[in-house]
Structure 1
Amino acid sequence: MSFNTIYVMLMWVRMAPPLPLIFFLLMIHGVSSAGWGVSYSPSHICALKDSTVIMRCTYTYPTTGYQIKKVFWTKGPILRWWGVEHPDLSNDPEYSQRLQYLGDKQQNCTIRLSHVTLKDSHMYYFRFTTDRPGGKLTGVPGVTLTVTDLQVESPERVTEGDSVTLRCKSSCALTDRATFIWYRNSQPLTERRDRNNELLLQSVRREDSGRYSCAVDGHTHISPAVQLNVMYPPVKPVISISPSGEIVEGDSVTLTCISDSNPPAEISWIKGGTTVGSGRIFNISKISSDDSGEYKCKSINEHGEKYSDAVTLNIMYPPRNVSVSISPSGVIVEGDSVTLNCISDSNPPAEISWFKGRINILQSGETYSITNIKSESSGDYHCSATNNHGSQTSAAVNVNIMYPPRSVSASISPSGVIVEGDSVTLNCISDSNPPALNISWIKGGTIVGSGRIFSISKISSDDSGEYKCKSINEHGEKYSDAVTLNVMSVRCFSSVTVGVAAGVGVLLGGASGAFVMYICLTKRMNRRSAMKEISDPNEDTYTALELKSTTSDLYDTLTTVDRRPPEDS
């Protein structure tokens, strides 16, 4: 008993009415007189919150001459003025439903207090009264009850692979032998059920993360949960793509990087070798074909980093930039082999159709080949590229086939009889590509002129003969077949002698003579007409001319170069 307690009791005795000394002595624990006493076992109890506590107690009193009238338990402090009764806990609303007296009115004064709370931590005493005046006794000191909670002691952060110890702590050492039970995320860890209040996690894993709590076997109270935070590097990330099907140019696409790590990782996105974004979600609105390619995400925290496998974005789009190329790219000569290639940018690859002008060639494929090409293949070509997202047609390209001259021919104009003095034109017709720029005319073996047209004014009999033209371009040359130029020489009589001439003509040459006569007459008439125009008195230009010279009736004697013997009759 402490000095203060004894002092207070002495003061109380001093101030109280005189009492038999025996009653004072019975107030002091361990002091008894003539068989008076109260004993507690144990005198200190550490109980778990919400548990049931047994306070074991025995008492003695002289059995001769005394009879127990009342027994009850109370809680301190108990030192009051003399004559003040101590409260009976069985009458206290806070205890009445939880307190059960297990003793009797002879020796046993044990009680049971159930569902103890932290507020129940007090000093408790047993008190009894007898039928004799002053025969009352309170057993002091009483039973010290301390009610404790449970708390889990855990490090705030641990790293995967560390060894970790968790402790289930109470504010006092539990009186009853305790078997501890551990819980993770409210689920019991059945493999950890022992008397030790420690939970040892050797080489802690990320799966060990969670909220830990503890309890004592046989008790309902469970400690508040404490989070065990196990740090670990990222696991290999996985990428998901939305939408998951075909992606067409213009769509919006979302890439999500899924990565488990603690603490949460920083995420970056890599296309090829270039970082293109950050964050767990990477959005591409109005995606284009330029966004096609392989993407990875990198997950990194203070404990390590990991890369995902690459995923491929394959962006579909209609044909574009459709064009035609020609091989060989230079001059194409008849007989060469030529390949036309249709160039198209599209995804998926386009189907190709070929056209010459507006006519479908009925051939498909990126290339259109022509072997031993002919001039008939010259023209404008284009291709059309089509896939299930659209189509586009190329601009036309011209295929121009070069070839040497061919179908060379010469013609004479006028086409009838040619008489000395006439004007004659020879025309050379030639088919070639490029057009022949070098055309020459050959009479016999001699070049007599050049150019597509060869003109002879005032032709003479000396110009008679066979003529050819030669057509030349850079790819070859060719001669025409020969044409014969036959020039007739004619002299006519004067008008006086026309009749005689006609007769002579008949005598001389029959039909030939008549034809010559026709020529002479025609010339005469043309001459007269010309002279008439010249002698127009209204024209000052010709007034100086001597018109009399134009009326001469004298002509040279008619001769012909064509003297044929008479035909056999």
Structure 2
Amino acid sequence: MSVRIAPPLPLIFLLMIHKAYSEKEDVRYGSSHICALKNSSVIIGCTFTYPTDRRIEKVFWTKTDVKNADDEYPDLSEDPEYSQRLQYLGDKEQNCTIRLSHVTQKDSHKYYFRFTTDKQNVKWIGKPGLTLTVTDDTDLQVESPERVTEGDSVRLTCKSSCTLTDRATFIWYRNSQPLTERRDTNNQLLLQSVRREDAGRYSCALHGHTYISPAVYLDVTYVSVSISPSGEIVEGDSVTLNCDSNPPAEISWFKGGTFVGSGRIYNISKISSDHSGEYKCKSINEHGEKYSDAVTLNIMYAPRNISVSIIQMLEGDSVTLICSSDSNPPALNFSWFKEDESSAVGSGQSFSALQSGRFYCEAHNQHGSQRSDAVTVTVKGNHNSNWDIPFRYASLTLRLPHWPKAVGLTSTSPQ
């Protein structure tokens, strides 16, 4: 007696599904309707099934569901109008995808996939078919926000009533000048960190096409401050701050958080170090209010408020002097003078005076110099002789030895 072992249940289930699916002829299209632009390439997706006990003999596409005199549907690959433009991308198993290149309005039609098998009565045409519509490119248009703020990112999209099914080259224009060219299926132009120079009229086109879409204006709103003169500002100069805004607005000026003026232009004549700080303007219009980024006024000036301080003074030692100043940029060069002497006696911010006298310092930067008042320094001791080191006295105690008394000696008087 023979024993038959049944396959596992999941396998039985899969076999049943495959048998049921494969015993039915069927054609499925990726879409029932495709719209393509003139001169573009179209990929028409397609799959098919057939009984597993049959062998596929022929696969082809046709654009009619009416048989010819030979009781068969015309094969597009044999049609001179299509033979050079039609490429079969599929196989004889289940993929029936094709590519149709350089389409024109004459290609607008309904198309069907057809297959035959080695069994005479097992043939199939995929009805109701797929409709291809080819249009001119005059329906291209740019989609863009009406207004964007400087510093933001924005995407512009070149749209058509037809979805392109193949890679296409998009050409973008700003103010009728070619801007960029992209070779991918992304029909978007990304502007990152938009600048005011990006404002303008944008349009798009397809490479190889003469038609350019209607232009759409992209408006960039901004508020910014500029300084004139733009270089180094020295105390005493006249400075102008200009608040530029789009759209035009009512302008207020602030130093830090304090209101200092109004109007598009803020003038400072004979600027001083007190004007140093951060300035910004605020614009107010129908779209709301917006502050500009802050700009810093850094006022340069020559040394001033020069002073000398004594930080060390020991009796008989040298005296150390320190020169202090207020300047921008900070003073890096210092000279020391003794009153009634024309030549400098030292340099550097600190100075060791070895002699008594009146001394002053002079601080320098690239914008000028200034000297301090003289200070009187007294150095004790004569540093001009070999005896210039002062004496220091210490007490001295002499201890006499203790003499012991003589043992067994007596004192006698002279006779």
What TM-score bracket applies, with the shorter chain setting the length?
Answer: 0.3 to 0.5
Larger relative contact order (Cα-Cα within 8 Å, sequence gap ≥ 6): 2
TM-score (norm 2): 0.41
Which structure has the bigger radius of gyration?
Answer: 1
Q: Which has the higher helix share?
A: 1
TM-score (norm 1): 0.31
